[in-house]
Copies of this chain bind each other. A is one copy, B any other.
Amino acid sequence: MFNGVHEDRLREECGVIGIFNRDEKHLAKQLYYGLYALQHRGQESAGIATTDGKQTRCHKGMGLVPEVFNEEDLKRLPGTIGIGHVRYSTAGESQAVNAQPLVAKYRGGSIALAHNGNLVNAALLRKKLEEDGVIFQTTIDSEVIVNLIARYSRDGIVEAIERTMDLIKGAYALVMMTDKSLIGVRDPLGLRPLCLGKKDEGYVLASESCALETIGATLIRDIEPGEMVLINGDQVESHRIAKEKSRASCIFEYVYFARPDSQIDGVHVYEARIETGKMLAKEHPVEADIVIAVPDSSIAAALGYSKASGIPFVEGLIKNRYVGRTFIQPDQATREAAVNLKLSPVRSNIQGKRIILVDDSIVRGTTSQRIVRMLKNAGAKEVHMRISSPPVAYSCYFGIDTPDREKLVGATHTVDEICRKIGADSLRYISVEGLVQATGLPKEHFCLACFNGRYPIEVPESSNEKMFKRWEGDGNA
């Protein structure tokens, strides 16, 4: 991942934003800054669509927000309603044609859609639509959703979305716009986050509250699971369309996906991370000289661990700020020496020390192995690894990019085996209960499927090609 120290990680697949503001002269620029604040949720493509009520315009492309847009591009996107999208995606689908928002003409005029999440029955729905003579120009779920909405649009957009929500299953935080309205929808389980803010006379929808702050909007509330909000100028209409008995919001938003200054479903992300660190110290204490973090995302948990344990927090690893995409990768001959291109040990802090190394997750284990080795080479006496999430042992089908299950070290190895593999002196993970408790929310609030395999929606074997591929040779799942 671009700018990433850490390539061995789960990855959020998308971020969305929408603005309706009659008085906003800088709509596209606001969307730009909003997307930029959501950049951590997707670095592969970015796009903005706006409408002035008559014409819908769209600009999207591969790359980071500042790479996709220049001032000229933004000037060509006038209007009072607009939506934006950033995306990360698995390699096979990494094509320009799949960039969002998806803009289409339908019976009701223009429609544009930005989607964060993943439908589990998209393949099935595509097949049914194809049998009715529908064509598909992309491989994204959004195209299925827009086709369904267009089909059911005879009685208006609200009705159409309701009927569509009856059919689609899975995770979806949607931001849509027609010629007249901005619409936000969150799936019945609340798998992916979506919040509502106010700016001047207008409204803003966004995946995370940090995007609201960046553009000077104020958080009003989170969209409820199964809720649709329809924004027409200064009016917000709420429709409670579908509701499951329990909710199943993604707990990994708190572990690492969301930006630390965001607030999701009433919980401050940074605070939750501090608490996971404290909980980790309580559950898995160890005698040591210093606590260090894998920067930047694990610093909060490390500070929490330090506070609870009384062992001082120290910067043991420094991130190189200048690593970019164009960086030339070291070849075999220079690789070993090049370990610390992205991450450098602060030798003077490490030498002779017993270290507690706090990281937020282990997926394949490769990065952890390299970091432990780097610390040992820099003179660390002991390295005790503490992970602020439980072992990831199951793939996600709800909008998070996970490797095939057989590549999840948490699925194939015991904790002791992982510890030996990465070369640490000890390795402990926070418990599922500990993690939940750190958020301050009840266990029923969350989807914990990546830890325990209990998927909140049936993940039918026949519905999803991608899934099929992943499940091959995996009897346990």
Contacts and interface: CB of A to CB of B under 8 A. Distances in A.
Given A40-B321, A134-B134, A260-B346, A66 B327 contact: yes
- Tell me the interface secondary structure of chain A in the complex: mixed
A66 B131 contact: no
A151 interface: yes
B66 A324 contact: yes
A340 interface: yes
A389 interface: no
Nearest to A148: B133
Interface in A99-137: 102-107, 111, 126, 130-131, 133-137
Given A3-B322, A64-B322, A271 B133 contact: no
A66 B322 contact: yes
Contacts of A107: 130-131, 133
Contacts of A320: 36-37, 39
A318 B66 contact: no
Contacts of A348: 263, 268, 270-271
Contacts of A36: 320, 322, 327, 341
A44 to B, nearest CB: 13
Contacts of A43: 322
Contacts of A319: 296
Contacts of A334: 26, 29-30, 33, 215
A282 interface: no
Interface string A331-362: 10110111011001111110000000000000
Interface in A35-92: 36-37, 39-40, 43, 58, 64-67, 69-71, 74
A135 B313 contact: no
A8 interface: no
Interface stretch (A229-237, A299-307, A391-399): A299-307
12 contacts: A2-B322, A26-B333, A30-B334, A66-B324, A67-B326, A106-B136, A107-B131, A134-B150, A214-B337, A215-B334, A263-B347, A303-B314
Interface of A: 2-3, 25-26, 29-30, 32-33, 36-37, 39-40, 43, 58, 64-67, 69-71, 74, 97, 102-107, 111, 126, 130-131, 133-137, 146-147, 150-153, 210, 213-216, 259-261, 263, 268, 270-271, 296, 299-300, 303, 307, 312-315, 318-322, 324, 326-328, 330-331, 333-334, 336-338, 340-341, 344-349
